[in-house]
Structure 1
Amino acid sequence: MYTELAVLALFVFCYSLIAGRIERAAASGPIVFVVAGLFMGPLGLGWFDGDSTHVELRVLADLTLALVLFIDAANADFRVLKQQYRIPLRMLLLGLPGAIFLGTIAASFLFDSLSIYEAAILGTILAATDAALGKAVISNKAVPVQIREGLNIESGFNDGLCVPILFVFIAMAVGTSSEGSSSMLALTLVAEELGIGLAVGLGLAAIGTRLFKWCHNRGWVTDVWKQMTVVGLAIACFALAQSLHGSGYIAAFSGGLLFGYKSKQSTHKLILAAEGIGETMALMTWMLFGSIVIGQSIEYLTWEMLGYALLSLTVVRMLPIYLSLAGSGESTSAKLFLGWFGPRGLASIVFAIIVINKGVPQAKFVAMVVVLTVFLSLVAHGISANPLAKLFGDKTDAKKK
């Protein structure tokens, strides 16, 4: 365990020294860490023992997603949302359900072993996009602001919105396959999970922000510990909800929304340190993902899985997004750009872990498809981010002239 931790920490340190240079290149941080994980895992040097780090990966991925959900929700700028709501609203209300529907149909057609609910689970898992993996596009000033904000807001909200949908399909899949459980009972348990998650997230965030302001006004909060308030509150929302048999992900997301709304102009300063911690945890998760998950999954992958992964990254995502933006006034190239940059990442991996833990009959098969899709997304979106952003920006500037 300590050897693996040392390798992780040293690699993170070395990467931090050249992160700025790598971000300007074709290879993104997640690609670097996944490749490093493959090289150091069982298929390479063998420094990571897959059996001994499965638990660590699950815990790290859980905490990372909870922190990322909280930060993404807190980062939501409601003033910008009022001005730029048209694109993300269409993508979330029309594009997201469309992607889940198409993903479900494609999975049912390609995989005979999956029930309709299991196909829907796979479609939902891969409908969630990763804001961190799209950072190269969102932060690129060459891309028009409405496109950048549209992607940023969509990726910040869609993984949180996918959680209740995923839980409903899991409940239906488990309920119909279990003799001692009914679909109605399973859905009731889901409603309880969501209710507890919302209550914990909103309750803790309301109390936490009020306490922070009260203590800050009295000069009790130091600059050092101010940086840890968001991390502590995010993980508290997640862990308390989980301990009460609620959804920690809903708690983290709803808590982040309320925290960002209450903190207003101070939000960015308060979450800056948490963003750095979250990004570091995410990169460490990607290294373990490369060494443990991909290293042990390669021999089980099939051509049908590859076909579905390619469909998920292209038609299943791009067609609903394109249709959702009909009549929006955006150009064809803008619609295709928004559709392509929906990278799959950490949320999909954690959702796959949830499905396995919930006892869905074909959970391992679903997880294999998710692993392959996420890996292809890491490569395809990581390599294409900077070149396509520049090309799209140049094309937009040329039209203005």
Structure 2
Amino acid sequence: MNVTRATFDEVMVPNYNPAAMVPVRGEGSRVWDQDGAEYIDFAGGIAVNVLGHCHPELVNALTEQGNKLWHLSNVFTNEPALRLASKLTDATFADRVYFANSGAEANEAALKLARRWALDKFGEEKNQIIAFNKGFHGRTFFTVTVGGQSAYSDGFGPKPGAVDHCEYNNLEAFEKLISDKTCAVMMEPLQGEGGIISPDPDFVKGVRELCDKHNALLIFDEVQSGVGRTGHLYAYMGLGVTPDILTSAKSLGGGFPIGAMLTTTAIAEHLKPGTHGSTYGGNPLACAVAEKALDIVNTREVLSGVEAKEALYRELLGKINDKYNVFEEIRGKGMLLGCALNKEYEGRARDFLVASANEHLMVLVAGANVVRFAPSLIIPDEDIREGLARFERAVAAVVEAK
């Protein structure tokens, strides 16, 4: 059956507007479309393809497991899930893991657990959830309501209640909002969709202290920032603050859908049998691939390599900006970087994305003012250099067309 980009408009719900080209094959940080044209991938499937495309060890893990056992449901447990959970608890603050299929599902589980924990321990008055403006936590109705971008949650009828928002990095405003009625605070330790906003270290520490003071759980949404993205296995490790619940997805599966919620024994016990579940969550295929991805990423070689690659990106982006003066700053950490546009190019991030695609480079945006890069953690330096040469041509095209 011959399919093209035009087929999308005929058969798919129009909630996406995908690129004109259709990728058909990937290897490492390169992708080829239906016409055989080659692209360099700085998008990483939106911070998912942590080891690039078709990493041989991930392909092998999937193939091996695919020949053994695909699905059981949670009437049974399985060896890959048990191994992956053991490795996640060994590597983090957590004692217990719940598996789902996506970041949104992991966040849904975290929020439900926090509400159930508060109900059991303190009663139904303690139900407020605080999150932050520009935050993003998924597209289920609960998680999109907790997310701090009303454009994504408006227009679907009455929203889940007792959810309040605060300005990120504003500890004074947060202190006014939190109280003994707060059951949980959900935050990204590096805001992704909201514009690649790094947290002020004092802000994060202050949030933790105020959560402790008011007996509220601190939930870190590490769906985008986790699994090596910042040069730490999880971003919290570089902030000196430990959450009560952490959510992980995206990079965790290296491209295979999986989500995980991590927490302590004392908190986990409030999700008793029957209180929450997922038919596919923790399936053997996803867990086998994620275990291998975690094994590879959680090494000194890969994690320290992230820091070196960030330095190379910043150096070369600085040279581009010296020449064209389009960026106000380069934000972010590790392999989650944002080129924030200056006032002269305000609102034009998509123009840079389109111009990059024309130069056979895949990039992302984070809002209207930030061009986002979330490549493989092991992208070769030569691909960074070639990709940024293409990006420079894209920047020149936008500047010249102005």
TM-score (structure 1 length as normaliser):
0.29
Per residue, is there more helix in 1 or in 2? 1
TM-score normalised according to structure 2 size: 0.28
